[in-house]
Structure 1
Amino acid sequence: MAKSNNQTSLYLTLTGSILGFLLLFFTYWFWPDPLPIHYPQFQIPNPIHFTDGITSCPTTTTTTTTDRSHDPENQTFYDDPTISFSIEKSITNWDEKRQEWLNLHPSFKPGVSERILVLTGSQPKPCKNPIGDHLQLRLFKNKVDYCRIHGYEIFYSNTFLQKKMRSFWAKLPVVKAAMMAHPETEWIWWVDSDAVFTDMEFKAPLDRYLDYNLVVHGWPDMVFGQKSWVGANAGVFLIRNCQWSMDFMEVWASMGPQSPDFDKWGKIQKSTLPDKLFPASDDQSGLIYLILKEREKWGEKIFIESDYELSGYWLGIVKRLANVSDMYEDMERWVRRLRRRYAETNLEHYAVLREKYLAGAGVGSDSWRRPFITHFTGCQQCSGDHNPSYGGDSCWVGMEMALNFADNQVLRSYGFVHPDVLNGSLVWPLSFDYPV
């Protein structure tokens, strides 16, 4: 009889354990994700307002097919021998010419207002820095990854389209030529080769710029108050494909080294911008000069973006990347839906889900949000002649960290991760339900 009681007790114990396990299992997997209010670390009272590019993303994608094989015989601006792609030649009535082309190619009209072409580039010759070409390749890969994830086209230029416009001036001839080569594209997005996309989910909030034609990263008080030549950064900018932009770039480029007034513009810029360190005319000083001195003509269409890192300064960013990674992992431990495996093509959907937990994450040095673009200004990865104030190999270490930080967001969809952001060659397979 005692034996029977023991068996009954054992049976009840095992049954209770199994039922308890099943209850825990179903509660864990099927209970709705908790709202941030249950987790004070992610409950920040003042949400940021620059995420229109993310929060407006539809959770279901509508596919529109463009007919790339269709090109009717009708005459367009491409058939006009007087029109030149050169930055030195003016183009007029561009808005009408572009619209005419779109009318002849109607499959490109849907979604045209949000269509982006990313431009970047480097010099045509091999790098002097022993690791320069390797860094250039990785920096380009980073941009290709970002564009693939969001469906953007990308063009890489390694030639000087105007032989005298080199270095930082080389971008303007490329931008104009790209506008004419891609009339189906509304926005041209120039990104310097030494800039890294460090948030692969975030998208530029185009709705914020409906009334503007040029978007640059900067600080209005530094531009208008201090008249500083570093008040805005010309290494990353969005520019609309329109006549206004053609006219603006023509004036901007007239300060370049191909101009007979190049030396004069250097003196004018230096006298206008008190903290400009060198006498030669440069594109960034030229941009700020036009914003300051021709504000009525151009200023109303230029947006100086300071609410997120459209071109974040690398030295302050790389120091906080490890902390940012930890915060995102903490978020995913708490919110099961965010750590679910998914196809890379669905990344934007999960970016939308993540946004409610990121609201109020702050901006700048106090933020635990991933910085959007980390710009390694002054590092000169190809020549190796970095700013002497950057001690030792700090530039290359910083680039390695930023590139691997970004690459981990890409590799996640492929089931792998760099366990050490200072070692890009080392990858580990991710365990199921990582990071729990």
Structure 2
Amino acid sequence: MRSECCTHPTPNLRFDPPDSTFYDDSELRYSIDKKVTGWDDKRKEWLKRHPTFTAGSKDMIVMVTGSQPNPCQNPIGDHLLLRAFKNKVDYCRIHGYDVFYNNWSMDFIDAWANMGTISPDYKKWGEIQRSVFKDKLFPESNDQTALIYLIYKDRRLTDKIYLEGEYYFKGYWVEIVPTYYNITKKYVGIEREDNLLRRRHAEKVSEQYAAFREPHLKEAGNGRWCWRRPFITHFTGCQPCSGNHNQIYAEESCWNGMLKALNFADNQVLRKYGFVHPDLLDSKTVTDSLFDYPDEGPW
């Protein structure tokens, strides 16, 4: 029996009452130089007139992502960015999250942009940041330090931000990419022992099977050098779009590492449909896996 308390009405995409809202303001602009003020209040008023969009909204998760508007200088850059975006879309689809590509928080972006290179106060913000963060190496304001400064100083914004500290997010690619084969081998071993995990299932119930797998991962660890599947692999220094990678990394190792990471993630999606990339460096080739996978194939 389905409990009605756990269901929410579907948003009505064809209902827009004639009441005037901030969208009717002819002066409304979504630009940094002419910012939208009071965004949260405006949205609250709009939602009062569109109640089907509010049900369950406090429990919703949205993933925000984006990339630069211009084509990449690196010939492989646009392909890698597209694959990276597909990876996020796959994750959101499987877990039932929305994904939003572009401007995401009016108030936050406005405050953040004020510390950027287009701001007349750019030089001043560099000095302020160095006065707060004594170990900052360079005098200029930069995106990362500006972000940390906002989280540290502005309680209006930080009340809406959750800083994850219970999961290993760093995911340094040089350490993680070489472990993919061993991680896959460990997971295959688990699935050989538990036929429930080998059962074919719909994407929509993937989280249930993750819960079934969890007792087998008690010894996997949950941080650096663990053999749990990494949630994030961070390709710091690779700069796939510009191609101006940090010279301590070989160009080939950056791009090959990204291909391995993307195909490693892709395999977790393809498995549900009976396919797999047998070679993580070969994105074009997928092979069938037997119904009661894992079999003795090249996994």
* TM-score between both structures, scaled by the size of structure 1: 0.61
- Inter-partner Cα distance in structure 1 for 2:156 and 2:18: 39
Match of 1:106 in 2: 51
Structure 1 residue matching 2:40: 3-state secondary structure? helix
Match of 1:95 in 2: 40
Q: Go from structure 1 to structure 2 and tell me whether the alpha carbon gap of 1:144 and 1:372 turns closer, same or farther (over 3 Å shift).
A: same
Match of 1:219 in 2: none
Deviation at 1:301, TM superposition (A): 5.3
Per-residue CA distance 1:333-380 (angstroms, 9 max, x = gap): 111111101122222222232233334632222322211122212211
1:390 pairs with 2:288: no
Match of 1:369 in 2: 228
Q: Does the 8 Å CA contact 1:266/1:280 hold for their aligned counterparts?
A: yes
1:176 pairs with 2:36: no
Deviation at 1:307, TM superposition (A): 2.1
Deviation at 1:324, TM superposition (A): 1.7
Structure 2 residue matching 1:329: 3-state secondary structure? helix
Match of 1:425 in 2: 284
Match of 1:330 in 2: 189
Deviation at 1:152, TM superposition (A): 2.7
Root-mean-square deviation (CA, aligned residues, Å) is 2.6
> Is the strand fraction higher in 1 or 2?
1
Structure 2 residue matching 1:420: 3-state secondary structure? coil
Match of 2:85 in 1: 140
Deviation at 1:403, TM superposition (A): 0.3
Q: How many residues align?
A: 291
Match of 1:414 in 2: 273
Q: Does the 8 Å CA contact 2:200/2:272 hold for their aligned counterparts?
A: yes
Structure 2 residue matching 1:373: 3-state secondary structure? coil
Bigger Cα Rg: 1
- Inter-partner Cα distance in structure 1 for 2:158 and 2:99: 28
1:75 pairs with 2:29: no
Q: How does 1:5-20 map to 2 (within 5 A)?
A: none
Structure 1 unaligned runs (5+)?
Answer: 1-57, 158-173, 178-245
Amino acid of the structure 2 residue aligned with 1:77: F
Deviation at 1:302, TM superposition (A): 4.2
Q: Does the 8 Å CA contact 1:142/1:403 hold for their aligned counterparts?
A: yes
Q: Go from structure 1 to structure 2 and tell me whether the alpha carbon gap of 1:289 and 1:125 turns closer, same or farther (over 3 Å shift).
A: closer
Structure 1 residue matching 2:229: 3-state secondary structure? coil
1:403 pairs with 2:272: no
Q: Go from structure 1 to structure 2 and tell me whether the alpha carbon gap of 1:321 and 1:276 turns closer, same or farther (over 3 Å shift).
A: farther
1:153 pairs with 2:102: no
Q: Go from structure 1 to structure 2 and tell me whether the alpha carbon gap of 1:298 and 1:343 turns closer, same or farther (over 3 Å shift).
A: closer
Per-residue CA distance 1:107-136 (angstroms, 9 max, x = gap): 222221132333322223322212112212
Amino acid of the structure 2 residue aligned with 1:327: K
Q: Go from structure 1 to structure 2 and tell me whether the alpha carbon gap of 1:396 and 1:274 turns closer, same or farther (over 3 Å shift).
A: farther
- Inter-partner Cα distance in structure 2 for 1:150 and 1:286: 31
Match of 1:346 in 2: 205
Structure 2 residue matching 1:352: 3-state secondary structure? helix
1:119 pairs with 2:64: yes
Deviation at 1:98, TM superposition (A): 2.0
Higher RCO structure (Cα 8 Å, ≥6 apart): 1
Amino acid of the structure 1 residue aligned with 2:105: K
- Inter-partner Cα distance in structure 2 for 1:102 and 1:298: 21
- Inter-partner Cα distance in structure 2 for 1:106 and 1:299: 27
Match of 1:53 in 2: none
- Inter-partner Cα distance in structure 1 for 2:28 and 2:234: 36
- Inter-partner Cα distance in structure 2 for 1:138 and 1:91: 33
Amino acid of the structure 1 residue aligned with 2:120: P
Q: Go from structure 1 to structure 2 and tell me whether the alpha carbon gap of 1:430 and 1:394 turns closer, same or farther (over 3 Å shift).
A: same
Deviating runs (4+, > 6 A) in structure 1?
none
Structure 1 residue matching 2:233: 3-state secondary structure? strand
- Inter-partner Cα distance in structure 2 for 1:119 and 1:327: 32
Match of residue 139, structure 2, among 262, 268, 279: 279
Q: Does the 8 Å CA contact 2:274/2:291 hold for their aligned counterparts?
A: no
Q: Go from structure 1 to structure 2 and tell me whether the alpha carbon gap of 1:155 and 1:291 turns closer, same or farther (over 3 Å shift).
A: closer
Structure 2 unaligned runs (5+)?
Answer: none
- Inter-partner Cα distance in structure 1 for 2:94 and 2:67: 23
Q: Does the 8 Å CA contact 1:309/1:374 hold for their aligned counterparts?
A: no
Q: Go from structure 1 to structure 2 and tell me whether the alpha carbon gap of 1:87 and 1:115 turns closer, same or farther (over 3 Å shift).
A: farther
- Inter-partner Cα distance in structure 2 for 1:296 and 1:109: 25
Deviation at 1:78, TM superposition (A): 1.3
Deviation at 1:408, TM superposition (A): 0.1
- Inter-partner Cα distance in structure 2 for 1:343 and 1:416: 14
Amino acid of the structure 2 residue aligned with 1:72: P
Match of residue 289, structure 1, among 138, 142, 149: 149
Q: State which drifts further: 400-409 or 144-153.
A: 144-153
Amino acid of the structure 1 residue aligned with 2:44: Q
- Inter-partner Cα distance in structure 1 for 2:216 and 2:7: 26
Per-residue CA distance 1:160-219 (angstroms, 9 max, x = gap): xxxxxxxxxxxxxx1236xxxxxxxxxxxxxxxxxxxxxxxxxxxxxxxxxxxxxxxxxx
% identity of equivalent residues: 55
Q: Does the 8 Å CA contact 1:363/1:369 hold for their aligned counterparts?
A: yes
Deviation at 1:300, TM superposition (A): 5.7
Q: State which drifts further: 396-405 or 361-370.
A: 361-370
Q: How does 1:263-278 map to 2 (within 5 A)?
A: 263-278=123-138
Amino acid of the structure 1 residue aligned with 2:90: D
